[in-house]
Amino acid sequence: MPAPERLAEFEAAALPVLKDLYRTAAAQLRNETEAQDVVQEVYLHAWNSFERFEAGTNCRAWMFKILFHRIHHHRRKWYRLRLFQENEEFLEDQLVAPVEVADRLTDQDVLRALDTLPEEFREVVLLADVEEFTYREVSEMLSIPIGTVMSRLSRGRGRLRERLAETARRLGIGPEGAAA
Amino acid sequence: MNPICEKARQLLDSYLSNELQVETLHEMNEHLRGCAECRNELAWRRQSRSLLAETVRAMAPPPGYETRIQASLRGRTVRPVRWWPYALVAVAAMVAVGWLTLSQYRSARLAVDALLAWGRTDHVQCARAYAREGTPVAADMREQVGAEYASLVDAVTRESARYVVREGHRCKFQGREFVHFILERDGRLTSIVMTKKRGEGETFPKSALLAAMKADRIPVYSAGDGEMHIAGAEMARHLVFVVSETSQNESLRLMAALIPSFRAVER
């Protein structure tokens, strides 16, 4: 464990990303209490290994890497089988109307759609499209090849769009025939 | 869908993420200029992506969460000793003599740690926060600690072969008064602490299993982590502590060396 006087230094580097870590954990785990516990674990782990953190490198990416280690560990511990309903509905492949869906879908619609993604797709989508890490950073964070990141992203984004489009169509708000 | 659009759709997400090579980016721009369907698809993908980002970014931790994290980090920094090594010793002893149950052991251990925490508190709140440079003269320290504890000054000064004596004073935390000596060696601080017991309830649980050793027939209890090693003992009217940043052995050695002096204060 680093010397206590480094705690202020650690907090200055690590606490600014607390909200980012929390929202990613909450979205990935889909449980706020679990997210709070996991993020707290992340900070304790990060503090314990702060001596190994190289000053000047990307603290945010380092914290996210620890987050996903903890999430995977947590998942192994508390694995719950999620029902994943594969929707075979074929979506028309032509777009005939302007898309104005975003304002009409609620946060719950979006989170429900996200929830249907398998975890390995959800994590890359969150890291790339919400936290805006590059493919390479995601690859390093999750210790998977960059090609795997890209294929998971492509499939994850596609499935997410399918779900959103289904919801939109059910509500009668388009996107008319948006492709996944 | 024609093959060109099909290829474009495969690259649209990378286009949105600005992850395309320059040449491909140029081709994509060319295609989008002439293809309304792909432009619509691009708009939908951009919209669904920003919808996701906005939704997830709105998920905020509960109020007070950052404070909780900070508290847990501080708790970790000065946490008391892990109980499990002691529990293992206890289980081994139970097997041998069938004495304490594990739950009895754990609650007794917690009671020991709670008392030892007073020594740690004074060390963290006073020695670490306010230790000064320089060495006070013995006469000043005697005056600071008061006549009742003046004899301790000589005992502490006897340690000056090993330590630089930094302070000798009275301090007060959480409504409790401490006689406190601060020593330093190689940048590491050691506190010697004496405080009056608060009634009969404030007593170490009586079990030979819990004590780290006996000095002058008085059980000495111990706790610590990688940074602080606390030795504590109970006198007739006082609790006494040595908090060392060096090692458990050193905290116990110092306690053993000082017990006759603590005893002398009570005579």
pLDDT: which is higher, A85 or B129: B129
Q: Which residues of B touch A110 (CB under 8 A)?
A: 51-52, 55
Averaged pLDDT, B68-76: 79
- The percentage of chain A sitting over the pLDDT mark of 70, rounded to a whole number, equals 77
Query: Which pLDDT score, from 0 to 100, does residue A34 have?
Result: 81
pLDDT exceeds 60 at position B78 = no
Q: Which tens digits make up the pLDDT trace of B32-62? A: 888 999 988 888 888 888 899 999 999 999 8
pLDDT exceeds 60 at position B103 = yes
Through-space distance between the first and last CA atoms of chain A, rounded to whole angstroms:
48
pLDDT tier, B95 (very low <50, low <70, confident <90, very high otherwise):
low
What is the DSSP secondary-structure string of B173-195?
ETTEEEEEEEEEETTEEEEEEEE
CA distance A16 to chain B (A): 10
Reported ipTM: 0.76
Instruction: Give the number of A-B residue pairs with CB atoms closer than 8 Å.
Output: 122
Query: Which pLDDT score, from 0 to 100, does residue B68 have?
Result: 86
Partner residue opposite B48 with nearest CB, options A48, A98, A160: A160
Query: Which pLDDT score, from 0 to 100, does residue A169 have?
Result: 83
Under an 8 A CB cutoff, do B60 and A94 touch?
Answer: no
pLDDT exceeds 80 at position B97 = no
Question: B167 forms bridges with which residues in the sheet?
Answer: B182
pLDDT exceeds 70 at position B254 = yes
Q: A32-48 and A59-77 are packed helices; what angle lies between their axes, rounded to 10 degrees? A: 120
- Is 0.80 surpassed by the pTM of this model? no
CA distance A176 to chain B (A): 10
Q: B36-57 and A146-170 are packed helices; what angle lies between their axes, rounded to 10 degrees? A: 90
pLDDT exceeds 50 at position A140 = yes
Under an 8 A CB cutoff, do B69 and A39 touch?
Answer: yes
Under an 8 A CB cutoff, do B61 and A125 touch?
Answer: no
Where does residue A168 fall: left (phi above 0), alpha (psi -120 to 50 degrees), or beta otherwise? alpha
Phi, psi at residue A134, to the nearest 5°? -75, 165
pLDDT exceeds 90 at position A19 = yes
pLDDT exceeds 70 at position A137 = yes
Other CB atoms within a 10 A radius of the CB of residue A157 amount to 25
Q: Please, are residues B238 and B202 in contact by the beta-carbon 8 Å criterion? A: no
pLDDT tier, B94 (very low <50, low <70, confident <90, very high otherwise):
low
Residue of B9, B19, B55, B77 best to disrupt the A interface, most CBs of A under 10 A: B55
Selection from A113-127, A166-180, B193-207 with the highest mean pLDDT = A113-127
pLDDT tier, A155 (very low <50, low <70, confident <90, very high otherwise):
very high
Q: Which residues of A touch B45 (CB under 8 A)?
A: 157, 161
Under an 8 A CB cutoff, do A135 and B52 touch?
Answer: no
pLDDT: which is higher, A172 or B169: B169
Under an 8 A CB cutoff, do B14 and A150 touch?
Answer: yes
Identify the burial level of B78 via C-beta atoms within 10 angstroms of its C-beta, where 0-12 means exposed, 13-18 middle and 19 or more buried. middle
